[in-house]
């Protein structure tokens, strides 16, 4: 045998030509393999492929690093082995051509002739093997194009203690209306009687690449809570606050999202403008961020229906022993403990269907345009057929009066719906929380964003500016007062390591909102995160005297390190709420109520896909330091992803 450089074969004799044209040596010509069903270790072809595999070290498929020459091979097994030899030799020849000045790779001409002979003898089996291999590759591509996953979530909350309103030491009013009530996810009664503290939900996610510039995203829910209740709207009592389905009409199986994204490049290169068109059943949090983009832990509590230790407010209220009466009122103006729903630092009310306590999908279409630091978003939905504004208002917002709803396109809502229950300065109290949009009562959103940070590589003093607006289709387009229109503005300064946000939202029917916060994450590499912020509900953005402040909260948190995941990243949070007009009017408290949250998340338990969160929340009357506890909750939240 005469060794030759692989580069010589690569340049002068193509391997595929050799396979087809070089005659086998006479020593290999006896006993045609096409007359043999299985190949025994004594067959010439068997011995030939064994020597080639061992010579070119194609043994990785065998634990003992041998060819296992003591068993018979089928012709298809032999074809697979031959295919691996052919691939390996081609790789060696290609590698030698890329090694200018490197050491030569010796490949015997006899080896090439043997491979050619084997290829001709096993042509049919090789073609069949290639066909099977191609089919397998297509199936792998299909699996990569369609990804299926999901989760099973179980939530349980137990109110372990409440104070006795009959005790002189209790902060609760002697005639506490909640004393005999049944506590539910939709209402935060101060009662030990729980209606339904246990919830289970299964979610199936399907993401698919339909073509190079088009993709599909879907999430489908099976919710046991939807089976409960027989009266219309009763599901809101069971479901509200658990998973973000306020005002849910009740459906055991429903579509959380099912939409298509189409990406349309408007140029070439990394800096070229891009456009995306989306349509289907979804809400706009898939497309836009109307809040801060900085990492923070506000609103991260697992139990949506409470969140005592976070910044936020919502729901009806009860009286406490510190409650006074407004002079001249026939009935007390309750200025005491609010039914806190879920708190975060974001002020925008532009996209109500995307709130954590709503998450309502609607028939929608949207277009977003991105060019470097600049983004433009336009979206429209027709309202959700899974939720009801009226039912939502009867849950956590009951006793706030009738809900605002438009029934005729382009009309003032006051001519088509009873607004009801205004506060002392004619602002609609029932708009304290953002209610989901009904079917045929949808809205449109327009957003502009300028991110002078990451998109342009600015890490020195990055700034993000965003402006969003919305309008309900059934409200007069050019009328402002008395219509459901919202405009919000956001300024983010800094990075996830250290940053701050300031936000404003102007409402034409409800309270205006302002918020501000600062965040620091992984301080000096310690793994400690801290945040502090405040949020105000204002009757008017243009009037800053005490009478304008309808509600206000400040809060802070510290999140401890998890030391590489060895322990949970425990979160401690506290919130303090201030009374209407900051208590400047007779009969109103300055320190209204407060709360404390301690949350311990266990992620990927035992290296599995199981997460567990243990959480404690307490509601305090007055200052958080007063010790006037009213309710203590324990929650267990589990999620298994598949």
Per-residue model confidence as pLDDT tens digits over 217-228: 999 998 776 555
- The residues with which 498 forms a beta bridge, in sequence order, are 520
Same-domain check for residues 209 and 113? no
Cα–Cα distance for residue pair 192/67, rounded to 1 Å: 72
Inside any domain, residue 91: yes
Same-domain check for residues 62 and 206? no
Same-domain check for residues 104 and 235? no
Cα–Cα distance for residue pair 285/314, rounded to 1 Å: 21
Inside any domain, residue 629: no
Distances (CA, A) of 559 to 186, 296, 343, 522: 28, 10, 17, 9
DSSP code of residue 640: E
Inside any domain, residue 288: yes
- Band of residue 561 on the pLDDT scale cut at 50, 70, 90: very high
Predicted confidence (pLDDT) at residue 106 exceeds the cutoff of 70: no
What per-residue string of b and e applies to 154-163 under the rule 16 or more CB within 10 Å gives b? Answer: ebebebeebb
What domain count does the chain have?
2
Q: Which of 4-8, 257-261, 400-404, 545-549 has the lowest mean pLDDT?
A: 4-8
Same-domain check for residues 105 and 205? no
Rg (CA), the chain: 34
Residues of the domain holding 114? 3-121
Looking at residue 418, its pLDDT comes to 41
User: Dihedral sign, CA of 241, 245, 251, 253?
Assistant: negative
Judge whether 591 and 600 are in contact, CB under 8 Å.
no
Same-domain check for residues 111 and 237? no
Q: Write out the two tokens for 591.
A: 């320190």
Q: Calculate helix-pair angle for 109-121, 123-145, nearest 10 degrees.
A: 90
Q: Rounded to the nearest 10 degrees, how much is the dihedral formed by the CA atoms of 435, 235, 439, 306?
A: 20
In degrees rounded to 5, what are phi and psi of residue 320?
-120, 175
Same-domain check for residues 357 and 498? yes
Residue 485 CA, distance from chain mean position: 27
Per-residue model confidence as pLDDT tens digits over 507-533: 887 788 999 999 999 999 999 999 999
Distances (CA, A) of 511 to 24, 355, 483, 507, 545: 90, 17, 13, 6, 15
List % helix, strand, coil for the chain (3-state, nearest 5). Answer: 20, 35, 45
Residues 6+ positions from 168 with CB-CB distance below 8 Å: none
Nearest to 342 by CA among 318, 309, 317: 309
Helix (H, G, I), strand (E, B) or coil at 438: strand
* Final residue belonging to a domain, choices 89, 121, 153: 121
Same-domain check for residues 116 and 223? no
- In this prediction, residues 592-605 reach a mean pLDDT of 91
- The CB density around residue 462, as the number of other CB atoms within 10 Å, is 20
User: Dihedral sign, CA of 88, 93, 94, 99?
Assistant: positive
Give 451-458 contacts, CB < 8 A, sequence gap 24+.
451/293, 451/373, 451/375, 452/373, 453/495, 455/372, 455/373, 456/372, 456/373
Cα–Cα distance for residue pair 83/394, rounded to 1 Å: 70
Judge whether 515 and 347 are in contact, CB under 8 Å.
yes
* Final residue belonging to a domain, choices 536, 567, 598: 567
Cα–Cα distance for residue pair 139/34, rounded to 1 Å: 31
Residue with tokens 């099977």: 132
> Average per-residue pLDDT in the chain?
78
**DSSP characters over 137-171:** HHHHHHHHHEEEEEEEEEEEEEEEEE--TTSTT-S
Judge whether 445 and 288 are in contact, CB under 8 Å.
yes
Judge whether 111 and 52 are in contact, CB under 8 Å.
yes
Inside any domain, residue 244: yes
Looking at residue 284, its pLDDT comes to 94
Predicted confidence (pLDDT) at residue 231 exceeds the cutoff of 70: no
Inside any domain, residue 14: yes
* Final residue belonging to a domain, choices 106, 121, 136: 121
- In this prediction, residues 321-330 reach a mean pLDDT of 54
Cα–Cα distance for residue pair 310/553, rounded to 1 Å: 9
Inside any domain, residue 621: no
Helix (H, G, I), strand (E, B) or coil at 278: strand
The 3 state secondary structure assigned to 564-605 is CCCCCCCEEEEEEEECHHHHCCCCCCCEEEEEEEEEEEECCH
Predicted confidence (pLDDT) at residue 376 exceeds the cutoff of 80: yes
Q: Which of 87-101, 138-152, 344-358 has the lowest mean pLDDT?
A: 87-101
Predicted confidence (pLDDT) at residue 587 exceeds the cutoff of 60: yes
Inside any domain, residue 454: yes
Cα–Cα distance for residue pair 362/279, rounded to 1 Å: 10
In degrees rounded to 5, what are phi and psi of residue 16?
-65, -35
Report the length, in residues, of the chain: 642
Cα–Cα distance for residue pair 515/348, rounded to 1 Å: 9
Inside any domain, residue 529: yes
Per-residue model confidence as pLDDT tens digits over 111-134: 777 788 777 777 777 777 777 667
Per-residue model confidence as pLDDT tens digits over 239-282: 555 677 777 777 778 899 999 999 998 887 667 889 999 999 99
Helix (H, G, I), strand (E, B) or coil at 469: strand
């Amino acid at each position: 045998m005469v060794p030759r450089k692989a580069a010589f074969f690569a340049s002068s004799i193509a391997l595929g030509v050799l396979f087809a044209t070089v005659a086998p040596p006479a020593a290999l010509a006896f006993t045609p393999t096409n007359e043999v069903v299985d190949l025994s270790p004594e067959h010439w072809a068997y011995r030939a492929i064994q020597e080639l595999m061992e010579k070119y070290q194609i043994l990785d498929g065998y634990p003992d690093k041998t060819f296992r020459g003591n068993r018979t091979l089928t012709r298809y097994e032999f074809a697979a082995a031959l295919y691996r030899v052919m691939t390996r030799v081609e790789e060696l020849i290609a590698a030698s051509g890329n090694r200018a000045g490197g050491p030569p790779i010796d490949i015997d001409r006899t080896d090439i002739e043997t491979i050619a002979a084997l290829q001709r003898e096993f042509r049919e089996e090789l073609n069949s093997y290639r066909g099977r291999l191609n089919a397998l590759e297509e199936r792998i591509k299909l699996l990569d194009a369609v990804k299926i996953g999901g989760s099973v979530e179980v939530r349980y909350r137990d109110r372990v203690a409440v104070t006795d309103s009959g005790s002189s030491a209790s902060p609760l009013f002697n005639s506490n209306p909640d004393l005999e009530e049944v506590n539910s996810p939709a209402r935060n009664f101060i009662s030990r009687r729980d209606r339904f503290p246990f919830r289970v939900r299964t979610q199936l996610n399907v993401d698919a690449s339909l073509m190079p510039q088009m993709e599909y995203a879907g999430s489908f829910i099976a919710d046991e809570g939807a089976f409960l209740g027989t009266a219309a709207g009763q599901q809101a009592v069971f479901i509200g606050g658990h998973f973000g389905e306020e005002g849910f009409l009740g459906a055991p199986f429903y579509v959380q999202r099912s939409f298509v994204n189409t990406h349309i490049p408007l140029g070439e290169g990394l800096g070229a403008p891009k456009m995306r068109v989306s349509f289907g059943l979804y809400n706009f949090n898939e497309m836009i961020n109307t809040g801060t983009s900085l990492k923070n832990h506000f609103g991260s509590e697992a139990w949506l229906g409470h969140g005592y230790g976070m910044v936020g407010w919502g729901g009806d209220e009860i009286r406490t022993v510190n409650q006074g009466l407004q002079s001249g009122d026939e009935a007390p103006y309750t200025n005491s403990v609010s039914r806190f729903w879920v708190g975060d630092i974001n002020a925008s009310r532009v996209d109500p269907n995307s709130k954590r306590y709503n998450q309502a999908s609607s028939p929608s279409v949207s277009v977003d345009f991105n060019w470097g630091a600049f983004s433009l978003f336009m979206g429209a939905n027709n309202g959700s057929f899974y939720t009801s504004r009226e039912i939502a208002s009867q849950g956590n917002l009951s006793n706030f009066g009738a809900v605002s709803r438009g029934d005729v396109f382009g009309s003032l809502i006051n001519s088509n719906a009873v607004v009801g229950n205004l506060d002392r300065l004619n602002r609609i109290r029932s708009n304290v929380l953002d209610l989901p949009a009904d079917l045929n009562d949808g809205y449109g959103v327009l957003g502009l964003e300028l991110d002078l940070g990451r998109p342009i590589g600015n890490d020195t003093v990055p700034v993000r500016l965003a402006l969003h607006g919305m309008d309900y289709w059934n409200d007069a387009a050019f009328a402002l007062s008395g219509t459901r229109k919202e405009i919000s503005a956001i300024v983010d300064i800094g990075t996830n390591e250290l940053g701050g946000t300031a936000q404003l939202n102007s409402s034409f029917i409800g309270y205006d909102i302002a918020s501000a916060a600062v965040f620091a994450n992984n301080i000096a590499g310690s793994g400690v995160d801290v945040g502090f912020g405040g949020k105000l509900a204002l009757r008017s953005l243009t009037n800053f005297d005490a009478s304008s402040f309808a509600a206000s909260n400040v809060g802070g948190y510290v999140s401890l390190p998890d030391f590489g995941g060895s322990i949970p990243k425990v979160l401690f949070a506290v919130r303090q709420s201030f009374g209407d007009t900051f208590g400047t009017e007779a009969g109103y408290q300055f320190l209204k109520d407060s709360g404390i949250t301690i949350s311990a998340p266990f992620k990927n338990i035992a290296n599995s896909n199981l997460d567990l969160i243990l959480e404690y929340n307490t509601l305090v009357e007055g200052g958080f330091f007063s010790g006037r506890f009213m309710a203590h909750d324990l929650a267990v939240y589990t999620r298994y992803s598949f």
